[in-house]
Amino acid sequence: MATREDIITRCQALYDDLDFTAARDWKDAKEGRHVIGFMPMYVAREIIHAAGMLPLGILGGGDQLEVIQGDAYYQSYICRIPRSTVELLLTDRLDFVDGMLFPSICDVIRNLSGMWKMLRPEVYSHYFDVPQNYMRDVGGEFYMHELNVLRHDLEKIGDITITDEALKNSIVVYNENRRLTRELYKFRSDTPWLAPSSEVYLINRAGMLIPVEDHNQLIKDYIEAASIEDRPKRDNSRVVVSGSFCEQPPLNLIKSIEMSGCYVVDDDYMLVNRWFTKEVPTDCDPIQALSYTFLEASVKMPSCFEPDEDIKGLYLVDTVRENNAEGVIFAAASFCDPALLERPLLQDVLNDADIPHISFKYAENTGQMQPIREQAGTFADSIKLWS
């Protein structure tokens, strides 16, 4: 059995590799394989998987990529993830990717879909729209159409047919992946000293880069290895991190929060791996199943409209309660419209529920951790004083 160290070392190497060697190797291993990249938030990875292709999460360039050309495309008041993503493209680090999907997370990523079309007209790029209307015959119909467009596009790229059977199989595998991811989160929430956030994060990031079956095994192995270890339990405060669903905080930042006395018991770093709060059914039309599950069992997050004012923002209160958390850290990427526009509203909801919170901004390449350590540390201390 692999040790926890082995697993984390492997994940760290995957995380550090800005050339995506693992995905390249996967593609080269067999003739006719294709890799489809996708940006944060949510895409229906099941369809890509059913096409026999590898969904590859492109979550920016992190803090190790030197951005030169990418900066030439963006003003200083735009977040960093699109510029590092363009840098990855222009430095040929994505030259093996056969298609790119841009979810409807915000206007910046939306516009990036058009830039991709102009920068790489020969490569498939697609704006992956999701419905903001949640009625089955309205948003549901529209979304089924969108899913079918993706299905047909991938069929063309791979010169294959994606059968319903294949789709159902893929749904099963991803249901398992989501189940395991939730288990991992629960494991951390129950015993945060056994599963540091930085490790959980690396496990999740690995899931963006390797085949899902491989990742399912990886999560199992990690939980197994980590749960039998004896690691010291510290007197940390339990917090939820909110607002980091697109541009990712640097690993150092994730570590800094924990080092300053906070156990992160829930977060929204990446959401695609646990987007659905329940299993996608496999006993009906798979496209319809994906569509309806999206309408009825998606996680709540700022890029999706909440039709019901009565429950707007309560998702954060719920996760605080479910995880016995004592406070919320709003960590948003600078210039992130969804996170920053949602924040005052969420703060209001938290205030009503008497849940303490702090907030700061970061960029994926934030270098100085001292202010963050100070803020998070003070927050952790003050939580203890209050309780």
Partner 1 sequence: MSAPVRKPSTDVQKDASMAKQKDMIESNFNRLGNVKNTGEKVSYTFVPGNLNELIMCFDMVGNYPEINAIQNGLRKKSGGMIMEAEKWGHSEDVCTYVKSDIGMMRKGNIGPTGLPIPEPDILMLSYTGCYTFLKWFELLRHEYKCETAMLHVPYTADGVITKSMTDYVVKQLKEEVIPKYEKVSGIKFDIDRLRENMALSAKAEDDFVWVLESAKNKPSPIDAYFGGIYYIGPIFTAFRGTELAVDYYKTLRSEIEERIRKGQGPITPEGEMKTEKYRIVTEGPPNYTSMREFWKMFYDEGAVVVASTYTKVGGTYDYGFRHDPSRPLESLAEYCMHCYTNRNLPERTRMLEGYINDYEADGLLINSIKSCNSFAAGELMMMREVEKRTGKPAAFVETDLVDPRYFSAANVKNRLESYFQMIDQKRRAGV
Partner 2 sequence: MKCFIGIDLGSTTTKAVIMTEDREIIGRGITNSRSNYDTASRVAKQEAMIGARFTLLRRNLKGNKKLGDRQEAFLDDLERNFRREQFVEQLDDLKATCLRSSEGERFDDVRSTLTEVLDKVFVQLREESLELFAKGATRKSDFFRDIAGGRFLSLSEEISRDAGLKYDYALNVYDKSIIEVENRPPADNLEGKFLNGLQNLINESPELGISFDDVQGPVKDALSVELEETFVVGTGYGRVRLPFPKEHIRSEILCHGLGAHMMYPGTRTVLDIGGQDTKSIQIDQNGVVDNFQMNDRCAAGCGRYLGYIADEMNMGLHELGPIAMKSTKAVKINSTCTVFAGAELRDRLALGEKREDILAGLHRSIILRAMSIIARSGGITDEFTFTGGVAKNEAAVKALRELVKENYGDVTINIDPDSIYTGALGGAEFARRAVMEA
Binding span for partner 1 by CB under 8 A among 27-35, 71-79, 288-296, 376-384: 71-79
Do 330 and 313 contact (CB within 8 A), yes or no? no
Do 287 and 151 contact (CB within 8 A), yes or no? yes
Residue 175 or 366 having the CB closest to partner 2: 366
Q: Tokens for 169?
A: 């199989």
Residue 43 or 363 having the CB closest to partner 2: 363
Binding span for partner 2 by CB under 8 A among 62-70, 164-172, 195-203, 215-223: 62-70
Buried/exposed code over 329-364 (b: 16+ C-beta within 10 A; e: otherwise): bbbbbbbbbbbbebbeebbebbeeeebbbbbbbbbb
Q: Is 375 a binder of partner 1 (CB under 8 A)?
A: no
- 184 makes contact, choosing from partner 1, partner 2, none, with CB < 5 to 8 Å by partner type, with none
Q: Is 92 a binder of partner 2 (CB under 8 A)?
A: no
Tell me the per-residue interface mask from 111 to 130 with partner 1, x by CB under 8 A, - otherwise.
Answer: xxxxx-xxx------xx-x-
**Gap between the Cα atoms of 368 and 246, Å rounded:** 20
Q: Which of residues 339-368 bind partner 1 (CB under 8 A)?
A: 340-345, 347-348, 361
Tell me which residue of 200, 207, 205, 199 sits closest to 183, measured CA to CA: 200
Q: Is 75 a binder of partner 2 (CB under 8 A)?
A: yes
> Residue 33 burial by CB count (10 A; 0-12/13-18/19+): exposed, middle or buried?
middle
Residue 161 or 370 having the CB closest to partner 2: 370
Binding span for partner 2 by CB under 8 A among 22-30, 65-73, 174-182, 199-207: 65-73
Spatial strand order of the sheet with 124-128 comes to 54-57, 35-38, 99-103, 124-128
Tell me which residue of 112, 107, 106, 105 sits closest to 90, measured CA to CA: 112
Q: Is 57 a binder of partner 1 (CB under 8 A)?
A: no
Which residues of this protein are in contact with partner 2, per CB under 8 A? 63-64, 66-69, 71-72, 75-77, 363, 365-371
